[in-house]
Every structure is written in C-alpha cells, then in structure tokens.
Structure 1
C-alpha cells in the first residue's frame, strides 16, 4: 500500500494506542507482534533515538560504497523505519523503493523525506509475502536497523530471506544488519552507542535476555518508555541461514569495520551475494576480519 503524494493516509490501518505484550511480556514471542509495538507515540520519538546527523557521521558512506561496489542502481529498503537510509540513498543518486510493515513508520518516513525535498515511493509490506506486495526486481535489498530480529520463528526467517532472494536480480546483493547478540547472551549487555542509537539522553538497554528473547526498553527525556521484543540472533546462525537459503560470498563487518574482534562490535552487517560462484564444488563464504 503506497502513501499518496499528498500524504493522505486515511486508508492505512492505525496502530493501537498502547503497546500490547499481554499479561506476561517475556512470553510474547510471536513475529506478528511487531504491529503492536510501533505505535504512534513510539514512532514519533524514534528519531530522537537515532539522531540522523550523528548517525550519518558515525556510519559514513559505508552502505553507499558497498552498493556502488556492486554496481547497484535500484534498491529496495525493506525496513525503512523513519526513512533515514532511504533518504540518504536517494541523495546519493540511487533509485529507492521504501517498504515497512508498520504504517506509522511509513507515515513518518514520508514526512521526513518530504521535509528534505524528496518524495518516497512507499509500500506497506510484510517480508514473508514481499513478492505479493512489492513489484519488480532490484539490484540490492537492504534490511537495516536490527529489524530482522523481529522474526521469532525460523520458518518466518527462512520465508523472508527467500522472498528477498526472489526479488533480487541474478547478480543482486542483500545487506542485513543485527545487534551483536552473541556478546549480550554470553557476556551481558554493554554498548558504545556510537553507531546506531546516537541520540542524547535516550537510553536503550535490555530488560530481559534469554536464548529466545531480547526485550529492550527505550527511555526518553520526557520520562516515557517503550519496549521491543526481539529474537537474539547469533552471528554464525544468521550467516548459515542466509547460506542455506541460497546467498553466497557472505561478508560480515563489525560496526562498519573490515577487521574486528568478536567481543567488540555493537552491530554486525552482513553483505551477501545472490550470484552463485563455486570453488572446486564448494561455496565460498567469508567473514571479513574474522574466521568461522
């Protein structure tokens, strides 16, 4: 469902007035619950958490260069959020279609882009049925902002990755990021808050962690608090899943760096190719700066 150019979104379903996690929030482990989490009040504060200027400075042109390296022209941003990466890529000269499962996020993204002189091509879409809701083939798909961790069931993760794969051209690439959940699960939570959540006086930290749930709490200066329930994906599991779906030559970066120690990054970024390349009958899978 696209947002009209006049910004009229009356036909889009509204989010509930409050987040819904049930009587026992740590038992809420369903993929579909993301629709109950990104309510208008939370979305309106999301840019305080990100801080567009600080985030642009921290990540530099990492994604722009990665896309240009693969001669990408047309990009599908499947986790647009409030539009940060869609707008940056538009300004860098890419053709961008912006998708998200949250209508509230799409409204905010459309407004943010318009204030910066752009009109986003927006589509409300669930990744599990992406080919149903979004048309065309793309040189690249990006899934950023730790968004893939909203998928709680492995069948949903595989279905989403297969949908990405099908929408890419034969030589297309997927760029997907995630928190360093390995460190959180094994050593406890710590964060430099340097690269992703750069807002001042905003706190993002886990309230509960186990092998099947990372429940994060977000506290804002006006004393409001919101939560997200996410699945703590381990790095090697995520890479294996991408490989099994069909992606090749997977490179993994830590906080936009080619070299890193596993305990250091806050986030991992996976860059995977669709094109099939074999070496003596085996699949070439790389981890940038780290060994399997």
Structure 2
C-alpha cells in the first residue's frame, strides 16, 4: 500500500489529464523538496526585479499571488512593500509558504483556492493577479481555463492586470526539449525534464540528488492560444515577454510571461 507521500498516477500515467489531479501530485514530500528545485537565491538573481518593477511601473499595490507555491514571490513582493494575499490550490504548498514567510519575519495571508471558483474563496478586488511557476498548465479542460481567466478578470479592479507565465511549449512540442532551466529551475543537481510530450500532455519528471523522483502532468499551452483565451474573456491588451525580456526570438525563451490589461487604452497594440 502506497503512503500519502507517494504520487498516484495509476497504471497509465500519460492518461491522467484531469484539472483536479494536481492537488494529489503535490504530495507533502514533493512540496518539501520544491525549494531545492527552485533555489530562491538563484531564482532571485535570474529574474532580477522584473515583476517588482513591472508592478510598480503600472502603479499596482494590492496583489493576489494566485499560485504562490512555497511563497517565493509573495515574500519578495511583501518585502518591497506590496499588500499581498497568497493563494494556492495545494494545501501542502500553502503550509510551506507560511513557514517560509515566518523565516523572513512575515506573516503571509494564505488561502486555499480553486481558480475556477476564485471569487468564492478569495474576497475583494486586486490591482494585479500573478499566476506564475507554469501553474496555469495544470488545467486540462478549455472550459476550466476560460472559467479561471474569467474569475481572474472579475477579481481585478477596473484597471487591473493579470501576469501569467508558461513554459515555451511551442518549442517543446514542435522541436523537443532543450532547456537548461537557467531562469526558473536553478537548484544544483536537480533536473526537470519531460518524459512524454504530445499535443495534450507534457509529463515532467523532477529528479533530486537523493535519488527521489516526482512527476507532474501538465497541458502544453501554446503561446498564441493562451493570448487568444485572454482576449476572449475580455482582456484588452496583452504584452508577452520571453524570459524577462520584452523582445526575443520565438524559439529562444524557456518561459513566456503574459501581462494582460483589463482596461483599454486608445492606440494600444496587443
């Protein structure tokens, strides 16, 4: 009998394509290793002040970190003076995020929330919502993606922005995986590589120095598809960055970062 710390994908792991399965994938033992995978110091060095400066540039103060994970961005933003609410769908992640906040002398306001019913679980309006760490790819059903984006839209103030990132799945699906993880996954001797990729699934294996392995099943979002969904739920203007740079070659970035604006500015291009 498997323990609660072991992941369960059944007899055919690549058949698991369910938006509700991710909470079972983030077991206690996997969540406890997540900070080894990310390496907070290296992550901070690689992304610099990109999100901090972006939010300040747009005059945003009240932030919902809707996929807070172990709290990396929540803590960084709070240290910069932002008013932050930290949400996640995985309770094991929220517990570690709260503990990480205390290590930095901060009390995170954490809430477990399902994006599809975000406004039921999280109250109030926000200047900005951030959905980082490739987390939006946990949604496998287009109806779930549309519902989540609509919930984000509704939770934003009239001039709010949504910042959402994703892996460069266009390259992974079309050309194979070649990332060195230099921006997002910075831990020493830790690997994060796909075991299986098709148009409907990217199954990643995370290997740690102690020999342990964990998996995540994710939907391979294409960049233009994500932008299309954002437009269709009402976002007026979308800026897309590659690895924290405004300009990039299409095949270069490991990650795309979409900044979707709720309000409309005459003359803005999308």
| TM-score normalized with structure 1 length | 0.90
**What does residue 136 of structure 2 align with?**
148
For 2:22 and 2:158, how far apart are their aligned partners in 1?
31
**What does residue 185 of structure 2 align with?**
197
CA deviations 1:119-170 (Å, max 9, x no partner) are: 0000000000000000000000000000000000000000000000000000
**What does residue 10 of structure 2 align with?**
22
**What does residue 214 of structure 1 align with?**
202
For 1:148 and 1:16, how far apart are their aligned partners in 2?
25
CA deviations 1:4-50 (Å, max 9, x no partner) are: xxxxxxxxxxx933211121000000000001100000000000000
For 1:85 and 1:124, how far apart are their aligned partners in 2?
17
Unaligned runs of 5+ in 2: none
Equivalent in 85, 88, 92 of residue 97 of structure 1: 85
Unaligned runs of 5+ in 1: 1-14, 287-292
User: Where do residues 49-68 of structure 1 align in structure 2 (5 Å cutoff)?
Assistant: 49-68=37-56
Equivalent in 48, 57, 65 of residue 69 of structure 1: 57
| TM-score normalized with structure 2 length | 0.98
CA deviations 1:89-144 (Å, max 9, x no partner) are: 00011000000000000000000110111000000000000000000000000000
CA RMSD of aligned residues (A): 1.0
For 2:125 and 2:45, how far apart are their aligned partners in 1?
31
**What does residue 258 of structure 2 align with?**
270
Name the count of aligned residue pairs: 268
Distance 1:177 1:36, change over 3 A: same
CA deviations 1:157-215 (Å, max 9, x no partner) are: 00000000000000000000000000001100011211100001001000000000000
The alpha carbon displacement at 1:70 in A equals: 1.0
For 2:7 and 2:153, how far apart are their aligned partners in 1?
32
For 2:5 and 2:169, how far apart are their aligned partners in 1?
30
**What does residue 42 of structure 1 align with?**
30
Distance 1:47 1:277, change over 3 A: same
**What does residue 6 of structure 1 align with?**
none
What SS does the aligned partner of 2:20 have?
helix
Equivalent in 177, 182, 185 of residue 165 of structure 2: 177
Alignment check: 8 A CA contact 1:180 1:267 kept? yes
CA deviations 1:217-268 (Å, max 9, x no partner) are: 0000000000000000000000000000001210000000011001100000
Find out whether 1:139 has 2:100 as its counterpart.
Answer: no
User: Where do residues 233-248 of structure 1 align in structure 2 (5 Å cutoff)?
Assistant: 233-248=221-236
Alignment check: 8 A CA contact 1:248 1:285 kept? no
**What does residue 250 of structure 1 align with?**
238
